[in-house]
Structure 1
Amino acid sequence: MPTGDTVAVAVVDSKDLKAKLRSAERAERGKAMLLVFPLLAFLLITFLVPIGSLLMKSFRDPVLSQELPHAAALLRAWDPAKAKLPGDQVYAAFGQDLLAIAGTDSVSRVASRLNYEESGMRSLIMKTARRIGDSKEGTWHQRLSDIDARWDETKYWSTMKYASSPWTFEYYLKAFDFKRTEQGAIVQQSDSESLYVGVFLRTAWVSLSVSLLCLLLGYPVAYFLANVPAKYSNLFMIMVLLPFWTSILVRTTAWVVVLQTHGVLNDLLIHLGITQQALPLIYNRFGVLVAMTHILLPYAILSLYSVMKGVPNIYMKAARSLGAGPIRSFFQAYFPQTLPGVGAAGMLTFILAVGYYITPAIVGGPDDQLASYYIANHVNSTLNWGLASALASILLVGVLIVYSLFVRLTGGGVKLG
């Protein structure tokens, strides 16, 4: 029989062993974290920080509050619904702030920022900045009105008011096709002014159409690759992977050669007598769908193939032996097991299609450009980074919502049985 001292020693040894195990586990976790840290730091610097900066630019623009601090503070307190024009204090503060930055790059920054909200503001600000020191007689209201009569109009001061705060939702209003009236009310833009809601709907429709086309065309190809004898499968797989060896720009330009008015396809159709004149196959929605489907099809094939390769043929043979026909056995015994690949291929091609820019820009017409085209235009041409960030943020949130719905519906993957 063990004595009391023996039991006590055993308990102490057991506690020491558990403590050592916990210490060893903490050390292993620490080593694992040290190994993962470079990857986390890389993702933080190259992915999370740019996205955070992008989101910040969409609702933060401190240009006016920094360059015209006194006027911006007074303008935020002015209510255009109660007074048609701001008081003399606002005129004086604006005149003094503008005089202080006249002749510097700050004037151009202020002018560009205001011009995003109201066309003509840039010329007004630049003109006023050039002539603001010419006269020192009269009130600031009189001096500004003498330089340009537009300083007696409410809409220009109203524009400055809603741009005076460092935090703004004006970019999102414009991205959803809303605008502010002179009195500050938010109203929807007219049909002739509306743009971005239609662009987002077009982007979603084109992306969904391309995903469906990729699934319809890629499923039989993936099925063939998964069931062809091994000595031939490598050759056919190389043919599927071959497009990855060529850049997207080259592949898209090749479709211009094929689909243009006097291109290969139209010349062939006319030569065969199928049509008497060239068909409009490019610079329209048809050209965009064809080119994007061709570029994204390998992604769908590979996603489907990876799942189909793991589905044994024995299930279809069993269904056939029980009396089911080839079509019924396929849809009841084989197709349900490939649904995870169908979901993954559809989701992958949809997400990739949403962000496409080069292909629609080359083979599409003016009414076929997707959201990425307008984001790039505001970044490179108009330099309206706030609106570009708002459009990109909406696109990002839309993709995340679609993906979350996909995960919720499939449970992270299509559940079978």
Structure 2
Amino acid sequence: MENDKKVIALAVRATRRREQLGGLVLVAPAVVFLLLIFVAPIALFAWRSVDNAEAWSALPRTRAVLRAWDGTGGPPEPAAAALVADVNSLDRSVAATLARRLNYSESGMRSMVIALHGLSLSLQKPVLEQLIALNPRWGEHRIWQVIDNESGRLTPYYLLRALDLQLRDGGLTKASDQDGTFRVIFARTFWISGIVTLLCLIVGFPVAYVLATAKGWLGRLLFIAVLLPFWTSVLVRTMSWILLLQQNGILNRFLIDHHLISAPLTLIYNRTGVYIAMVHVLLPFFVLPLYGVMLKVDRAQIWAAASLGARPLAVFRHSYLPQVMPGIVAGLVLVFVTAIGFYITPVLVGGGGDQMVSYFVAFYTNSSVNWGMAAALGTLLLIATFVCLGAFRRVMGTAAVSGR
């Protein structure tokens, strides 16, 4: 009898292992696809925000000499000779890349480093003295501090710069050529995203309620109207708003023709246009999760509360709202997380003071070709997204965030 129990237990465990193995085999392609297409690109992108291969590979001799420098006092003479040797061993294009990289940290270093390429020095005088004669800035402590800080394999420069900070004299200070630029951009991004999310809540809740309560052909028609934006590209929808909201557009012409206004309203290339267009694009992301939850509301609780004499507002607050809260939170999270990464709509309908972080990621990637800065901004935006999701999860609870 005892042996039979052991045999049965072993058979059950073997069956479970086979089921688990089968499940892993089925899931493996999706996991591999997710790692290769989603996780790996994000990881490589984040790596660019701390990667310093340009300076690290170009300055091996200088790096070795500065490793023994305590960072105080004047620059060591061997470091000057090592720097000249490193720069002269590089191709012209590689030296230009190094110069550009160091110029990010200290303005003016580009021309200083390029001038070293092909430079002939006298063996009778100290190298540092000759460099100072070539450019007095070679005698500045700050120049050699930058070379020391930026000659390592990893660098905090891009991430600090994205927060308007820099390393100077062994500590963190405010970036000298900025006045909170990126902090303002991040604050603007979260402000616009927050306002758009709030507007989607105000507009989307009644829409979702009507969808959930409408019957027959009217309900189907309204549902198609909500889904319709998904069938049109974001670019087309945004361009449509430009036609509608411009000074000679359909809306202004209608208001003027009906004598509702005397002059065209400025509704485009400003914050108003950004709000209108973004709400239009993102509204379905709020309505659909809320609509799905509203369909499952237990009407018996509402009828019971009303039959016991509760006022409509009390019924809504204590019976209806708690049941639909998971849908509200899920919609808010979807809208907010999508909004902070918006690019096309603010670029087309917003002004210069309405651009969000994604615009500057694209600028540093395509125009400035400063991939480290683009990666740093993108990485900080990703971290901020996870922080917001964590805050939603903590405040509303796991079930509310997941929509269950």
Shorter chain as denominator, the TM-score bin is over 0.9
Given the alignment, which residue of 278, 302, 305 partners 1:292?
A: 278
Equivalent-residue separation in structure 2 for 1:306 and 1:242 (angstroms)? 17
Code of the residue aligned with 2:302 in structure 1: it is M
- Measured after TM superposition, the shift of residue 411 of structure 1 is 2.3
Instruction: Please state how far the C-alpha of 1:102 moved relative to its aligned partner.
Output: 4.0
Is 1:302 aligned with 2:288? yes
**Residues 343 and 413 in structure 1, CA contact (< 8 A), matched pair in contact too:** no
- Measured in 1, the distance between the counterparts of 2:111 and 2:33 equals 44
Distance in 1 between residues matched to 2:89 and 2:400, nearest whole Å: 64
1:146: Cα distance to partner? 4.7
Match of 1:72 in 2: 63
Q: Is the 8 Å Cα contact of residues 121 and 127 (structure 2) preserved in structure 1?
A: no
Letter in 1 for 2:108: G
Counterpart in the other structure of 2:21: 30
Please tell me whether residue 258 in structure 1 is matched to residue 247 in structure 2.
Answer: no
Is 1:75–1:164's contact at 8 Å kept on the other side of the alignment? no
Local SS of the residue matching 2:194: helix
Identity of aligned residues (%): 39
Larger radius of gyration: 1
Distance in 1, Cα, partners of 2:215 & 2:119: 83
How many residue pairs get matched?
402
CA drift at 1:100: 0.9
- Which residue in the other structure is 2:160 paired with? 173
Letter in 2 for 1:276: S
Whole-Å separation in 1 of the counterparts to 2:234 and 2:104: 33
1:319-330 map, 5 Å: 319-330=305-316
In the alignment, the residues of structure 1 paired with residue 20 and residue 235 of structure 2 have an alpha-carbon distance, to the nearest angstrom, of 45
Note the C-alpha offset of 1:23. 1.4
Equivalent position SS for 2:173: strand
Amino acid at match of 2:18: A
Q: By how many angstroms is 1:363 displaced?
A: 1.1
The code of the aligned residue for 1:255 comes to W
Q: Is the 8 A contact 1:199 1:370 kept in 2?
A: yes
Q: Is the 8 A contact 2:164 2:178 kept in 1?
A: no
The 1:111–1:190 alpha-carbon spacing in structure 2 relative to 1, beyond 3 Å, is: closer
Q: Write the distance in 2 (CA, Å) between the matches of 1:274 and 1:52.
A: 54
**Which of 115, 128, 134 matches 1:141?**
128
Aligned position for 1:247: 233
- Tell me if the contact between 2:270 and 2:350 (Cα under 8 Å) persists in the aligned partners: yes
> In the alignment, is residue 50 of structure 1 matched against residue 41 of structure 2?
yes
1:154 aligns with 2:141: yes
> What is the match of residue 111 of structure 1?
99
Question: Which of 120, 123, 127 pairs up with 2:115?
Answer: 127
Q: For residues 166-213 of structure 1, what are the alpha-carbon distances to aligned partners after superposition, in whole Å with 9 as ceiling and x for unaligned?
A: 1221222211111233x3432124695321111111111111111111
Cα distance per residue 1:242-278 (max 9 Å; x no partner): 1111110111111111122222222222222222222
Q: How does 1:231-242 map to 2 (within 5 A)?
A: 231-242=217-228
- Paired AA for residue 87 in structure 2: L
**Equivalent runs, 1:5-24 vs 2, <5 Å:** 10-24=1-15
Q: Which amino acid aligns with 1:96?
A: A
Q: Aligned to 1:180, what secondary structure does the other structure show? A: strand
Q: Deviations over 1:134-162 (max 9, x none)?
A: 87764322443454443233333222221
What is the rounded CA distance, in whole Å, between the counterparts of 1:120 and 1:193 in structure 2? 20
User: Which whole-Å CA distance do the structure 1 matches of 2:247 and 2:176 have between them?
Assistant: 36
Match in the other structure for 2:353: 367
Matched-pair contact (CA < 8 Å) for 1:76–1:165: no
Q: Give structure 1 stretches of 5+ with no counterpart.
A: 1-9
Which secondary structure state, in structure 2, belongs to the residue aligned with residue 59 of structure 1? coil
Q: TM-score, normalised by structure 2?
A: 0.93
**Aligned mate of 1:91, from 62, 66, 80:** 80
- C-alpha separation in 1, matches of 2:122 and 2:223: 78
Within 2, Cα distance between the matches of 1:358 and 1:75? Answer: 46
SS of the equivalent of 1:187 reads: strand
- For 1:328, what is the secondary structure of its paired residue? helix
- Secondary structure in structure 2 of the residue aligned to 1:186: strand
1:5-29 deviation line (CA, Å, top 9, x unaligned): xxxxx21122112112211211221
Aligned to 1:228: 214
Matched, 1:198 2:189: no
1:211 aligns with 2:197: yes
Counterpart selection for 1:334 from 311, 320, 327: 320
- 1:253–1:112 distance in 2 versus 1, CA, 3 Å: same
Which secondary structure does the structure 1 equivalent of 2:166 belong to?
Answer: strand
Q: TM-score, normalised by structure 1?
A: 0.90
Q: Label 1:63 to 1:191 Cα distance change in 2 as closer, same or farther (>3 A).
A: closer
